[in-house]
Structure 1
Amino acid sequence: MSKKKILKKSILVTGAGGYVGSILVPMLLKKNFKVIAIDKFFFGKTLLKNRNLRLIKKDIRDISTKYFKNVYAVIDLVALSNDPSGSNFPELTWQINYQSRLRTAKISKEMGVKKYILPSTCSVYGNQKKIVTENSKTKPLSIYAKSNLTAEKDIIKLKSSNFLVIVLRQATLFGYSPRMRFDLAVNGMTEGVYKNNILPIMRNGLQYRPLCHVKDTSRLMVKLINQNYKKYNGEIFNVGSKFCTESIINIAKLVLNNVNKSAKLKWYGNPDNRSYKVSFRKLEKLGFKPKYSINYGVREMVECLKKNKIKKNLKSITIEWYRYLKSKGKFLKEYEKK
Structure 2
Amino acid sequence: MIKKTWFSNLFDVAVRVLADLVTVHVAMLFALLFEALKLKAVPTQSVSTYLTSLRSYYVNVFLPLSTLFPCACAISGLYTRTWRGTAMFLKLRRAAVTAVVSVLGLVIISAVLYPSDALPPYSTAAAFAILVVIATPGVRWLKYWAFESERAHRYPTEPPVPETILVVGGAGYIGSIVTRKLLDRGYRVRVLDSLVYGASPIEEIVRHPRFKFLRGDCRNIQDVVRAMTGVRAIVHLAAIVGDPACDRDHKTAREINYAATRMMIEIAKGEGVRRFVFASSCSVYGASDELMTEDSEVSPVSLYAKTKVDSEKELLTAMGDGFHPTILRFSTIFGLSPRPRFDLVVNLLTAKAMKDGVVTIFNGEQWRPFLHVGDAAESIIRVLEAPVEVVGGQTYNVGDDGLNYTLGDLARRINDVFPDTRIEHVHNSDRRNYRVSFRKIKTELGFFCSKTLEDGIKELKVAFENGLIMDYHLPLYSNVKFLQQYGSPLQQDEVGAQVMAALAQRAEVPELVKVFSAEAGD
The one-letter amino acid paired with 1:315 is L
The one-letter amino acid paired with 2:216 is K
Distance 1:212 1:192, change over 3 A: same
Q: Does 1:240 align with 2:399?
A: yes
The one-letter amino acid paired with 1:318 is N
Gaps of 5+ in 1: none
> How do 1:24-35 and structure 2 match up within 5 A?
24-35=178-189
Greater per-residue strand proportion:
1
Q: Does 1:310 align with 2:469?
A: yes
Tell me the matched-pair count.
Answer: 330
User: How far apart are residue 266 of structure 1 and its match?
Assistant: 4.4
Give me the whole-angstrom Cα distance separating, in 1, the residues matched to 2:391 and 2:491: 37
Give me the whole-angstrom Cα distance separating, in 1, the residues matched to 2:189 and 2:490: 24
Q: Which residue number corresponds to residue 323 of structure 1?
A: 484
State the percentage of identical aligned residues. Answer: 28
Q: Does 1:114 align with 2:274?
A: yes
Q: Does 1:229 align with 2:388?
A: yes
Does the CA contact (< 8 Å) of 2:363 and 2:431 recur in 1?
no
Larger radius of gyration: 2
- Kindly report structure 1 stretches of 4+ aligned residues shifted beyond 4 Å: 266-270
The one-letter amino acid paired with 1:18 is G
Whose relative contact order is higher, 1 or 2, with alpha carbons under 8 Å and at least 6 apart? Answer: 1
TM-score for the superposition, normalised by structure 2: 0.61
Q: Which residue number corresponds to residue 317 of structure 2?
A: 157
User: How far apart are residue 110 of structure 1 and its match?
Assistant: 1.3
Deviations 1:38-65 (A, max 9, x none): 1111111111221211111111100242
Deviating more after overlay: 228-237 vs 24-33: 228-237
Q: Which residue number corresponds to residue 282 of structure 1?
A: 440
Deviations 1:125-183 (A, max 9, x none): 11011101001111101000000000001111111251211000000000000100111
Deviations 1:72-95 (A, max 9, x none): 200000000000011111111111
Q: Which residue number corresponds to residue 198 of structure 2?
A: 44
Give me the whole-angstrom Cα distance separating, in 2, the residues matched to 1:284 and 1:223: 11
Secondary structure at 1:157 match in 2:
helix
User: How far apart are residue 321 of structure 1 and its match?
Assistant: 0.6
Q: Which residue number corresponds to residue 338 of structure 2?
A: 178
User: How far apart are residue 293 of structure 1 and its match?
Assistant: 0.5
Q: Which residue number corresponds to residue 146 of structure 1?
A: 306
> How do 1:207-222 and structure 2 match up within 5 A?
207-222=366-381
Gaps of 5+ in 2: 1-158, 503-522
Secondary structure at 1:60 match in 2:
coil
Deviating more after overlay: 75-84 vs 269-278: 269-278
Does the CA contact (< 8 Å) of 1:16 and 1:77 recur in 2?
yes
Deviating more after overlay: 51-60 vs 167-176: 51-60
**Match of residue 8, structure 1, among 128, 148, 162:** 162
The one-letter amino acid paired with 2:356 is N
Aligned-residue CA RMSD in angstroms? 1.8
Give me the whole-angstrom Cα distance separating, in 2, the residues matched to 1:106 and 1:161: 12
Does the CA contact (< 8 Å) of 1:188 and 1:200 recur in 2?
no
The one-letter amino acid paired with 1:274 is R
Secondary structure at 1:61 match in 2:
coil
The one-letter amino acid paired with 2:397 is N
Give me the whole-angstrom Cα distance separating, in 2, the residues matched to 1:54 and 1:269: 49
Does the CA contact (< 8 Å) of 2:371 and 2:400 recur in 1?
yes
Distance 1:17 1:272, change over 3 A: farther
User: How far apart are residue 273 of structure 1 and its match?
Assistant: 4.1
Secondary structure at 2:360 match in 1:
strand
Greater per-residue helix proportion:
2
Secondary structure at 2:166 match in 1:
strand
Give me the whole-angstrom Cα distance separating, in 1, the residues matched to 2:258 and 2:295: 21
User: How far apart are residue 220 of structure 1 and its match?
Assistant: 1.1
Distance 1:321 1:213, change over 3 A: same
> How do 1:90-129 and structure 2 match up within 5 A?
90-129=250-289
Give me the whole-angstrom Cα distance separating, in 1, the residues matched to 2:437 and 2:265: 27
User: How far apart are residue 232 of structure 1 and its match?
Assistant: 2.9
Give me the whole-angstrom Cα distance separating, in 2, the residues matched to 1:267 and 1:188: 16
Distance 1:303 1:6, change over 3 A: same
Give me the whole-angstrom Cα distance separating, in 2, the residues matched to 1:227 and 1:296: 27
Q: Which residue number corresponds to residue 175 of structure 2?
A: 21
Give me the whole-angstrom Cα distance separating, in 2, the residues matched to 1:294 and 1:129: 22
Secondary structure at 1:249 match in 2:
helix
Does the CA contact (< 8 Å) of 1:68 and 1:108 recur in 2?
yes
Does the CA contact (< 8 Å) of 1:244 and 1:294 recur in 2?
yes
Give me the whole-angstrom Cα distance separating, in 1, the residues matched to 2:348 and 2:160: 44
The one-letter amino acid paired with 2:279 is P
Give me the whole-angstrom Cα distance separating, in 1, the residues matched to 2:385 and 2:209: 20
User: How far apart are residue 192 of structure 1 and its match?
Assistant: 0.5
Does the CA contact (< 8 Å) of 2:403 and 2:453 recur in 1?
yes
The one-letter amino acid paired with 2:180 is P
Give me the whole-angstrom Cα distance separating, in 1, the residues matched to 2:306 and 2:427: 22
Distance 1:64 1:278, change over 3 A: closer
Q: Which residue number corresponds to residue 264 of structure 1?
A: 422
Does the CA contact (< 8 Å) of 2:224 and 2:264 recur in 1?
no
The one-letter amino acid paired with 1:218 is A
User: How far apart are residue 261 of structure 1 and its match?
Assistant: 2.1
Does the CA contact (< 8 Å) of 1:125 and 1:276 recur in 2?
yes
Give me the whole-angstrom Cα distance separating, in 2, the residues matched to 1:268 and 1:102: 41
Secondary structure at 1:29 match in 2:
helix
Secondary structure at 2:368 match in 1:
strand
